[in-house]
Amino acid sequence: MRRVEGGICAVEGVEAWGRRDGKDGLALVRARGRCVGVYTKNAFQAAPLVLTRARLASSRGWTEGIVVSSGNANSFTGRRGLEDAERMAELAADAMGVSRGRVLVSSTGVIGCRLNMPLIESQIERVAPMLEHSPRGSDAAARAILTTDRAKKEIAVEVGEGSERVVLGAIAKGAGMVEPNMATMLAFIYTDAQLPSPVLRRALREAVDCSFNMLTIDRDTSTNDMVLLTSVACERVPADMWVYEQNLREGLSYVCRELARMMAADAEGASTLITVNVRGAQSIEDARAAARAVAGSTLVKTAVYGRDPNWGRVAAALGYSGARVDAGRTSISIAGVHMVRGGEPLPFDEQQASRAMEGEELVIDIDLGMGSHSATAWGCDLTHEYVELNSRYRT
C-alpha cells in the first residue's frame, strides 16, 4: 500500500471544489458511480440524510454528485427542512450539469435552524465553475466541510499492482459529538474499484466497524452523520477478482482507520490522542467493548490530560464495559509503563510514568488474558478548552 497525493481527486473521474463564508462552508463533488452508505444510529435523522438515503434507494445506488454544507445541520427543521435539502440538491445538480435526482446532500452544524438558502444558492453558483480534478480541488472541498475542526481530514492510497490496482481517496470532518455507532462525522470516500454494490456495502460496514465505530470523543451522537463510498465508473477488468476485492478491503480499512485517528487527534479542545489496544479477549465483541469503554471514560480522559498514571480508572472502565473480564488475568500498561500484570499491581516510578504520558499520543495496552481476540479504539483527553468551546458553540 502506498500513500499518494490528491485526496478524493486521486481517483479518476472525481472533480471537487469548496469555499467558506465565515462559519458557513459548501463543497461540491461531481463523480458518477455506484454509492453505498453507513449512517447515524440517532433516531432523529436530519433532512439531508433522509433525502440521501431515499435517493440512493430509488436510484439503486447510482449517484452523479454530492453537495455538502457546513455551519447548519438542517436537522429538526420539519417539512421545510426537507424542502430546503431538495432545493439544495436541485441547485447543485443544475450548476454541475448532472441529473437532478442523482445528487446527494449532506449538512453539518447547529441543530434546529433553517438553512440560509440565499447563501447556499450563492455558494453553489460560485463553487460549481471551479470544479476540477486536482489536489487543489480535493483540498478546497475538504476545508469547506469543516466546523469546529482545527485541521482538514484527507487521505489517498494505492493498493496492488497492474489490473488489480485499487485507488481510494477520502475527505472527512469530525471533532465533537463523536461516539461509537457513528459519530458527528462525515466521510466521503471514492474508489476506482469496480465491484458489485453488495460487495462494496459489506466492505464498508467491516471498515466502519473497526474504525469510526471505535472512535469516541464525548459520548454524543449526532443526527447527520454518514459515511459514503462511491465506486466511480471506469473501464477496468482485473485479472484476479479475488485479489482485486482484497485490495479494496485492505485500502478501505486503512483509509477509515486513518480518518478515525485524525478525528480523535483533532477533537475539540484535545491535546492528546488516546489509543487503546485490547488483546486477549474471548470475542471480538468483548475486545471492542473493552477498548471503547476505556477510550470513552471521562475519568481516563481527565487523567490523561493531567498526566496522572491512574491505572485504577482503566480497570474500572474495563469492569463496567460489558466485556467478560477477570481481575486475576488482566494486565495494564500506560505509555509503555507496566502497571498491572495478571491482576497484581506492579511497582513503578510515578514521576517517570507521568513524564512518559507527555506527548501528542498516549497508548494504553491491555491484555484481558481471556482469549485471542483484539481491538483498538481511539479517543482524546478532556480539557478546559473543550468545555469553553462547547459552552459558546452557537455564539
Alpha carbon distance 153, 259 (integer Å): 7
Is there a contact between 213 and 198 (Cβ–Cβ < 8 Å)? no
3-state SS of 101-137? Answer: HHEEEEEEEECCCCCCHHHHHHHHHHHHHHCECCHHH
Grid coordinates of 230: 462511491
Alpha carbon distance 329, 367 (integer Å): 8
206 by DSSP, 3-state: which? helix
Is there a contact between 362 and 281 (Cβ–Cβ < 8 Å)? no
5 labelled binding-site residue: no
Count CB neighbours of 99 within 10 A: 14
Dihedral pair phi/psi, residue 51, rounded to 5°:
-65, -45
Is there a contact between 231 and 200 (Cβ–Cβ < 8 Å)? yes
77 labelled binding-site residue: no
108 labelled binding-site residue: no
Closest CA to 40 of 249, 230, 208: 208
Dihedral pair phi/psi, residue 132, rounded to 5°:
-155, 150
216 labelled binding-site residue: no
Is there a contact between 204 and 227 (Cβ–Cβ < 8 Å)? yes
Task: For the chain, report the end-to-end CA distance as a whole number of angstroms.
Answer: 44
395 labelled binding-site residue: yes
302 labelled binding-site residue: no
52 noted as active-site residue: no
Which of 63, 184, 272, 330 is labelled catalytic? 184
Closest CA to 138 of 227, 35, 18, 262: 18
Binding site members for substrate = 147, 173, 184, 268, 390, 395
> What residues act catalytically?
184
